[in-house]
Every structure is written in C-alpha cells, then in structure tokens.
Structure 1
C-alpha cells in the first residue's frame, strides 16, 4: 500500500533539507514543485553559470544532491520516495520526480545521514595532519557504491601529486578566462546574503606551496603556520556514464558521501576544476585507470569546525499547484 500523494506540509519539510545540498559557488540552482501528489525538482534557468558551467553539469550535480536530501527527509518522515530521474526528455530542466512509495520506518543509516544534513558544509581551510581511519574510508567507499557510483581514494605521494598537478593546471586554464573570473566575482559575498560564498567561508588565499588549488573567494590571509596539509586524502567520485541522468545520479552519490563524511566526524571540500575543463577531466580518468567518468574531486580530513554557507528561504523555492478559480 502506498500513500496517495505528498502533501504541502511534507513538501515544505523536505525542501528545508533539500536546500542544504551543495552547489557550485553556492548558486542554489533549484526549484521544487508539488504536481499530482509528486514532488518535482527543477533547475532554475535564472541561476545558471554560463561561464563556469556551460553544459549544465554542475547544476545537475547540485540537483541530484538536493534529490538525495529530499529522499532522506521523506524516508525519515515515513513516506519514502520512488525517484524517476529526467522523467520527461522534453523538459531538460526537470531533474527528477519523487512519488510516494511503500510506507516504512526509516533505517538507522537514513536517520544518521539526515541528522548530518544541517551540519554538512564545505571546509576550505587547512586540515589537521591526522590520517583518516581505515573504517571511515570503507564507509565512504560503501556510500558511493550504495548509489551506483565509484569512489577512488588516491593514496601515496606519487598518485596524489599527479591528481594535484591536473587540478592546478585546470585551475590555471579557468583563471585565464575573463568571463570565468567575472562570474566568480559575482558570487563572492562580503555582506550577509542568502546565497554565494561569504569571504569568511572561502578559505585562505592560495600560495605557491599549496598542493591543491583554491578558488579566490575573497583573499582571506592564512594564519602563520597554517599551511594546507602536505598529504591530503584526495578522493575522486565517478559514474559509469556521463548522460544528464548519470550526472544527477552522481549528485545523489556525492551527497551520500558528503553526509557520510560529516557523520564520521570528518570534513571535506570540493575541487571541481578538473571536471570543469574537459581535457583535465580526461587526464584524470586516465590517471585513475578508470573506464567511467570522474564527476567530482574531494579533499577529506579532520578540520576545525566552521559553519555552513547561507541558504535562501525554502518557501521562496516552492511552486504549489494553482487552485481552480
């Protein structure tokens, strides 16, 4: 027996979790609608990043991450969802449709990941040198597999340096584009704002000795002796294919991994530069010896607690059915 349809209240509660998903430059490129008892997730054309994300890859990753948070919220409410990704090819901005499935109690893992939703954020500061334990690494690998994705943990100085060199090269390619730099500048927030990246959350200014690149989100100077960790745990998340549906599913996998990071007491930051540059993405795939498609690079470790970036009011992102006149 399934629930007839989701209610406005269930939608509002679920969207409050969905908006906590990560997105490139914290652009929050999503809208949510209630249609015939289902919840639809759509991309907002007004929030596209034409210079940074011309293909819409990053927006679909963000949309998939929001879908995963919706799934968790609905499962914890006892009304889990069946998800159809890209339900109508004629509507490319329609990410997914969630319909009520068989009612059941949430699993302990779903409850733990849902509790991590408000605590997850990108930590762009240097991490402590403490290594990530083996059991935590296995949980991250399992989280990706649970969503049909793969996660490669890059181990050893040689492989890490190879991935870092690809990331730095991609960052230089992007930085040479005036349109990219101008677009990035529009999302840096020096005053309180419901979107974009506050200067305080942007991480310290990059320096020549840094192994991995940092986006210039405000140029906050680093404290003396607070260089980035010399041997970070670098992970690459990927999928078997690279269709729009594959990218949405990769976003769901990314969010499961990130919430597992948070639930494990770890921190993470995202490095999408090697994915944004097609040549660098292919170099990364070859360096990993993978036949699939890299979708995100992550830096994982133990970090000083911080705070999530702001979010827009969920009520402003919901489109409800128009009542008949």
Structure 2
C-alpha cells in the first residue's frame, strides 16, 4: 500500500485547477443527469415540507459568492433558498491536493482516512475547509489536476482551506440506523 500525499500546489497550478473546476461545473450545468442527481440529494425546503431528512439541507449550502472569480460549488442548482445570503470569497484560495500513487480501493480508503485527519486538523487550527471535487468527477479532466512533478499520480480530493464563517452542520442519522455490526 502506498502512502497518501498532501500537496500544496504553486499559484500557477492553483489557477489551472480553478479553471478545471470551472470547466467541470460547466459540464455539470449542461448534463441533465448530473443536475437531476444534485436536485435529488439536496433540499431547498425544510424537512417538514419535503417529508425527508435525507440529503443536504439548504441551510448547509452556505452563502452565494460575490466578487470573486474562484468557483464554489452551488448545490442550489438555480433553485431559490429562503434566507440564503451572499458573502465575499477570497480571489486566490489556498488549495491542497490529497492523492495517492495508485488508484485502488485500498488507496481510496487511505485517502479518506487522511482527509478525515486534514479536516480535523484544519478545524482545530480555526480554518474552514471545503471540498472542490468537481474536476475529479470527470475522467477527461481528472488526470490534468495532478502536478506532473509530483509522485502523486491520482488526486483523490481537492481541498480548499482558509478563514471564513463556520458552516451549518448537516443532519446525521443515528449510528444504529446506518451501521450493523456482525
């Protein structure tokens, strides 16, 4: 099993990654299947109205961005979200790439464990993190996200780190409802 690498790209590569995020978002915007899946797993109305507690509630979407060219995924997909405000986001975000040398299930598991540690450390350090995974979801874009000078052949996650308001927590089911120990 290969190690997981956390890599902070140079500003030129960050710009390139943000361009790829924008390209992936444009692909998502014109793909009816992707849009339908996003709508299926997000809610813009309270659970009492929709009758389900599953999915990402609108209160956890965060504010809409204003005054920046750096893309931020908007789970509202053009739907109105009552009470959702605007915020100014940084023009040049701090991006970290978390990746592995190989792309097998064990590597995905190790990358997930490493992501958990990165997110916990960021929280402990007073930072806000968000996942910017759009370019990894498109096979024709994913390969270009990595830094060719790095041994990290497979980027598993693109993480945006910085200072900002703490986001709203999304609901969780009780552990007994989702885990069965045999």
Query: What's the TM-score once normalised by structure 2's chain length?
Result: 0.83
Q: Residue by residue, what CA displacement relative to the aligned partner does 1:193-223 show, whole Å, maximum 9, x if unpaired?
A: 5431111111233568431231333555543
Separation in structure 1 between the aligned mates of residue 176 and residue 161 of structure 2, nearest angstrom: 33
> Which consecutive residues of structure 2, in runs of 5 or more, have no partner in the other structure?
none
**8 Å CA contact 1:239, 1:295 repeated in 2:** yes
Q: Partners of 2:148 and 2:165 in 1: how far apart?
A: 30
Which of the numbers 169, 172, 191 marks the counterpart of 2:23? Answer: 169
1:191 maps to what in 2? 46
Q: Would you say the 8 A contact 1:170–1:280 is kept in 2?
A: yes
Secondary structure in 2 aligned to 1:319? coil
Against the structure 1 CA distance between its residues 312 and 300, is the aligned structure 2 distance closer, same or farther, given a 3 Å change threshold?
Answer: same
Partners in 1 of 2:19 and 2:114 — Cα distance?
A: 25
Task: Indicate the RMSD between aligned Cα atoms, in angstroms.
Answer: 2.3
CA distance in 2, matches of 1:222, 1:238: 34
Match of 1:313 among 151, 174, 179: 174
Q: Secondary structure at the match of 2:155?
A: strand
Report the equivalent of 1:299. Answer: 160
Q: Please say if 1:159 is aligned against 2:20.
A: no
**Aligned-pair CA distance for 1:227:** 2.0
Partners of 2:181 and 2:15 in 1: CA distance:
49
CA drift of 1:315 comes to 1.2
CA–CA distance in structure 2, aligned partners of residues 232 and 173 of structure 1: 22
Per the alignment, residue 134 of structure 1 pairs with none
Larger Rg: 1
Q: Which runs of 5+ in 1 are unaligned?
A: 1-84, 86-146
